[in-house]
Structure 1
Amino acid sequence: MKFEISQQFFFDAAHTLHREMDAEGSARIHGHTYNAEVAVAGPVTPETGMVVDLGHLRSLLEKIRDRLDHRMLDDVAELGHPTLENLCLFVAREVAISGLNLTRVSIWRNGIGDRCDLRFE
C-alpha cells in the first residue's frame, strides 16, 4: 500500500509583478496571505507506522516558511519572478533536498481565489 500525507502552512509576503493585465496595480508593492500544502507519499515503515514523521515534515516546512514569511518576494534570489508557479517550484526544490517522495505542492491565496498545483506523478 502507498499512502499520501500532507502538511499545510501559510505565509504573508509582498511583491511586485510585471504583467499585461492590471499592469499598474501589479507593479506597485502589494502583499498577500499565501497558503501552501506539501504532500509526500510512500509505504508505511513498519518500525514507525508512518510514511514520514509529521514532526519532521513540519520542521522542514517551518524552515521554508521562514524564508518567505514577511519578506519581499522580489528579493528571494532563488525564487525568480514571484508567481504562484515559481513559489511551487521553490517549495518543491527545498523539500526535494530532504529526500522525501514529494507528490504535490499547492500554493493558493484565499483572498482572491488563485491556486497553483504542482504534481509529481
Structure 2
Amino acid sequence: MFRAKVLGSFSAAHSLREYRGDCERLHGHNYRVEVSVESDVQNATGLVMDFRDLKGLLKSVLDGLDHHYLNDLDAFATVNPSAENIARYIFDTLRSEVNPPVVLREVTVWENDTCCVTYSRRGGKS
C-alpha cells in the first residue's frame, strides 16, 4: 500500500460557542493542513496520485476558508469551527473529489506547532 501526503495552509479567525476559556473569544490561527491518500495501485507514471492534483484539490477547499471568520460560514453555522470540525469538513469536501483506486485516508489540521487533530473514516472507508 502506498500513501501520499500533501500540506496546505490557511489563516482564519473563529470563536468557540459554549466554551469556557480563552477560545470562546474571537481569535485566529495560521492553520496547517495535511491530507493523506492511499492506494495499492500506481497509475501509468508510477504515482498514487499526482501531488500537483492533490495540492490543487486541497487549495480549492482551503481558499474557501482562508481569511474568513469561520463562524460566519455555512459549514459552521450549527457546529463549532473547532479543529475537529474543520478537519471533518475538509475531509467530507475532498472525499468526492478523490477517485478509486485512490482513497482519501485522513486529514490533519494543526492550529499551531504543538496541537493538531486528525479525522478519518472508521474502518478505513472513504
Which TM-score band applies after superposition, normalised by the shorter structure? Answer: 0.7 to 0.9
Stretch moving more, 60-69 or 78-87: 78-87
| TM-score of the pair, normalised by structure 1 | 0.87
- State yes or no: 1:77 paired with 2:78: no
- CA shift, 1:14, in A, is 0.3
- CA shift, 1:27, in A, is 3.0
Identity rate, percent: 30
Q: Which residue of 2 aligns with 1:108?
A: 110
- SS of equivalent to 1:68: coil
Q: Tell me how many residue pairs correspond in the alignment.
A: 117
CA contact (8 A) 2:83 2:111 kept: no
Distance in 2 separating the partners of 1:85 and 1:27: 16
How far does the alpha carbon of each residue in 1:58-114 deviate from its partner, in whole angstroms, 9 at most, with x for none?
110110110111111001212331011100111001110113411111011225x32
Distance in 1 separating the partners of 2:19 and 2:112: 23
CA contact (8 A) 2:107 2:119 kept: yes
Distance in 2 separating the partners of 1:116 and 1:71: 20
CA contact (8 A) 1:19 1:26 kept: no
- State yes or no: 1:91 paired with 2:90: yes
Gaps of 5+ in 2: none
Distance in 1 separating the partners of 2:81 and 2:16: 7
Question: Equivalent residues in 2 for 1:18-97 (5 A)?
Answer: 18-22=17-21, 25-79=22-76, 80-97=79-96
Distance in 2 separating the partners of 1:46 and 1:13: 36
Stretch moving more, 54-63 or 98-107: 98-107
4+ long deviations beyond 2 Å: 18-21, 25-28, 43-46
